[in-house]
Amino acid sequence: MDKFEIEAAAIPDIEIVGKFDRSDEALRFAEKNRVDFALLDVEMPGMNGLELGRALKELYPDIVIRFVSGYDQYVVEALHDGADYYLTKPYTSQQVSDTLIRAKLLSKRQEKPVFIRTFGTFEVFVDGKVVIFPGPKVKEIFALLVDKNGGGLTSEEAFACIWEGKEYTDTNLSLYRSAVRRLADFLDSIGLSGLLITEKNVRWLNTELYDSDYNRFLAGDVRAINEFQGEYMTDYSWGESTLGRLCRMKDEK
> Considering the chain, what percentage of its residues have pLDDT values greater than 70?
77
Note the pLDDT tens digit of each residue in 24-81: 999 999 888 888 888 888 777 778 878 888 888 888 877 777 777 765 555 555 555 5
Residue where a domain stops, chosen among 77, 110, 143: 110
Cross-strand pairs, 123? 117
122 and 106 housed in the same domain: no
pTM over 0.85: no
Alpha-carbon gap, residue 165 to 169, rounded angstroms: 12
DSSP 129-191: EE---SSHHHHHHHHHHHHHTTS-EEHHHHHHHHTTTS---HHHHHHHHHHHHHHHHHHHHTT
195 and 74 housed in the same domain: no
CATH number assigned to the domain comprising residue 207: 1.10.10.10
Categorize the per-residue pLDDT at 1 as very low, low, confident or very high, splitting at 50, 70 and 90.
very low
88 and 146 housed in the same domain: no
106 and 118 housed in the same domain: no
For residue 223, the enclosing domain spans 114-252
Cross-strand pairs, 68? 41, 87
